[in-house]
Chains A and B, each alone.
Chain A
Amino acid sequence: RAKDIVESEQTPEDIEEELLDTTMVAEYNDEIFLHLRKKEIEMLPVPDYMARQSELQWSMRSVLMDWLVQVHQRFNLLPETLFLTVNYIDRFLSYKVVSMGKLQLVGATAIFIAAKFEEITAPSVQEIVYMVDSGYSVDEILKAERFMLTILDFDLGWPGPMSFLRRISKADEYDLETRTVAKYFL
């Protein structure tokens, strides 16, 4: 296994350095990544949920994502927040049939929840209403928030791809080019 190969080639200095590198929480890496992989699988959406949606199509999801990327950029949010948003939307749509007119509400609510979970300061509900061009009211978003949290059963800690990428690029000795390209693909 790759892990054994890496471990057999580590010098005592490498190990020492890794232990001192608190920002990688090296000591708990094995346990944490085991846990993350488990969560990753538990929190997968249903892959073919679109087949069960009567009004929606994959192309509409793309349009929604383009809009969310803009919102995300506008608020200067962390990349993790965007990945969480996508996971919340896909999981929500795996369980609920949504009309075309409500799809943007699903997206807006998902990014509202994701930002609260992940960021130090999240956009307010008024800012979200502004971003949907007042297409939905404060009240609608807050209602949708409670509904979405119920459907997601408050399982919000999806690991997302960033942690795994960082782990791999550390093992890879941070090849900057590979890392930038990989980030772009994500």
Chain B
Amino acid sequence: MENYQRFEKSAEGAYGYKARELKYPNRIVALKKARFNREGDGVPATAMREISLLKEMKHPNIVKLLNIVQARHNLYLVMEFLDMDLKKYIDSLPVSEGGRARPIPNGFRTRLGLDEAMVKKFMAQLLEGVHYCHSHRILHRDLRPQSLLIDRDGTLKLADFGLAQAIRIPLRGYSHQIVALWYRSPEILLGGPQYSTSVDMWSVGAIFAEMCTRQPLFPGDSEIDEIFQIFRLLGTPDEENWPGVTAYPDYKATFPKWKRVRTILVPGLESAGCELLDALLEYDPATRLSAKQACLHHYFRNGSSYYSGRIHPR
């Protein structure tokens, strides 16, 4: 750790401590700490998976792991430094734009805002990052605004791979202790024994709506409240729009039968955007839009890479 100098605590980034490399003082990094568990189980499984999976991934929309440092009691992940996460970014918007006017870090030269073009750019970057994960057999399993980092040039990167898993093909059952409640897909909420890449896509849909409205789409306070918030907005699923739903372990025949009332979930969003959102919030995991398909969706009229900034850097 002697190679790194930590900034004062107030300068915490979105991702652990902000620090400076002593050999290269211009290089600012983030240090994410994982504690060794002495009596218990040594190196935490979450840290092991995060490191090993991050090392496999090289993509402009996935946070870079630069180094690993083992100190006496802690393990540090040295990552590229990004100032903000998407949650803080939304909160920093002026009240007139639906934010809470929270202060932004000094590094941000100008406010980039979150108008339609910016939402589209973030969506393109998010989807390309998720597509990369999925085509490398990695499920993120914890997509939420806090796990998406934003740099000062307005580039979005996926972070927080502590819950990620390298899936085996074909899939088998995996843990259900995943994904923050508000971004958790209905098949997990209903106790489905298997899940797949589509769990991440549901989260992407919920994040998409939140970027547009600045409000979480399904802010449930318990699992059952979460399920009912989803059902109230999208209608209670049935065998017609989700074949097999009634066989899920936690599906109850006594669930209230809500009908979908609002056809447009995000007022003001262009119609192609509404279609994309609906396709991401599709109940049936087998027909829910994949990241690969979403990148080709006509919401991105010129292809997602045009908006993500890969082809035409601004």
Residues on A close to B: CB < 8 A?
Answer: 20, 22-25, 27-29, 31-32, 35-36, 39, 78, 80, 112-113, 116-117, 120, 122, 124-125, 138, 141-142, 145-146, 149-150, 153-157, 162-163, 166-167, 170
9-residue interface stretch from B34-42, B79-87, B203-211: B34-42
Q: Chain A contacts of B40 at CB under 8 A?
A: 124-125
CB distance from A114 to the nearest CB of B (A): 10
Q: A156-B52, A162-B168 are in contact. Are A116 and B196 (CB under 8 A)?
A: no
Q: Which of B36, B48, B137, B175 contacts A32 (CB 8 A)?
A: B137
Q: Are A25's CB and B169's CB within 8 A?
A: yes
Asked whether B246 is an interface residue with its Cβ less than 8 Å from the other chain, the reply is no
Q: Measured between alpha carbons, how far is A153 from B65 in the docked complex, in Å?
A: 13
Q: Measured between alpha carbons, how far is A28 from B169 in the docked complex, in Å?
A: 11
Q: A22-B198, A32-B169 are in contact. Are A157 and B134 (CB under 8 A)?
A: no
Q: Mark B166-189, 1 if CB is under 8 A from A, else 0.
A: 111111111100000000000000
Asked whether B43 is an interface residue with its Cβ less than 8 Å from the other chain, the reply is yes
**Between-chain CB contacts (< 8 Å), 5 pairs:** A25-B137, A25-B170, A32-B135, A32-B169, A142-B38
Asked whether B292 is an interface residue with its Cβ less than 8 Å from the other chain, the reply is yes
Q: Are B136's CB and A31's CB within 8 A?
A: yes
Asked whether B197 is an interface residue with its Cβ less than 8 Å from the other chain, the reply is yes
Q: Measured between alpha carbons, how far is A23 from B174 in the docked complex, in Å?
A: 12
Nearest B-chain residue to A112, judged by Cβ: B42
Q: A150-B70, A154-B52 are in contact. Are A125 and B45 (CB under 8 A)?
A: no
Q: A141-B42, A142-B42, A145-B42 are in contact. Are A23 and B196 (CB under 8 A)?
A: yes
Q: Measured between alpha carbons, how far is A186 from B117 in the docked complex, in Å?
A: 53
Q: A142-B36, A166-B169 are in contact. Are A120 and B48 (CB under 8 A)?
A: no
Q: Chain B contacts of A31 at CB under 8 A?
A: 135-136
Q: A117-B52, A146-B70 are in contact. Are A24 and B169 (CB under 8 A)?
A: yes
Q: Chain A contacts of B134 at CB under 8 A?
A: 25, 28
CB distance from B38 to the nearest CB of A (A): 7
Interface set, chain B 132-156, CB cutoff 8 A to A = 134-137
Asked whether B264 is an interface residue with its Cβ less than 8 Å from the other chain, the reply is no
Q: Chain B contacts of A138 at CB under 8 A?
A: 39
Interface of chain B, helix or strand or loop or mixed?
loop
Q: Measured between alpha carbons, how far is A64 from B98 in the docked complex, in Å?
A: 63
Q: Chain B contacts of A166 at CB under 8 A?
A: 169-170
Q: Chain B contacts of A112 at CB under 8 A?
A: 42
CB distance from A129 to the nearest CB of B (A): 12
Q: Are B42's CB and A154's CB within 8 A?
A: no
Asked whether B237 is an interface residue with its Cβ less than 8 Å from the other chain, the reply is no
CB distance from A150 to the nearest CB of B (A): 7
Q: List 14 extra interface pairs beyond A25-B167, A145-B42, CB under 8 A.
A: A22-B286, A23-B196, A25-B169, A28-B134, A28-B137, A28-B292, A36-B137, A39-B56, A117-B48, A122-B41, A125-B41, A156-B48, A157-B56, A163-B168
Interface set, chain B 37-61, CB cutoff 8 A to A = 38-43, 45, 48-49, 51-53, 55-56
CB distance from A10 to the nearest CB of B (A): 19
Q: Measured between alpha carbons, how far is A88 from B196 in the docked complex, in Å?
A: 27
Nearest B-chain residue to A124, judged by Cβ: B41
Q: Which of B38, B45, B196, B198 contacts A117 (CB 8 A)?
A: B45
Q: Are B135's CB and A28's CB within 8 A?
A: yes
CB distance from A95 to the nearest CB of B (A): 17
Q: Which of A20, A39, A124, A163 contacts B169 (CB 8 A)?
A: A163
Q: Are A28's CB and B197's CB within 8 A?
A: yes
Nearest B-chain residue to A39, judged by Cβ: B56
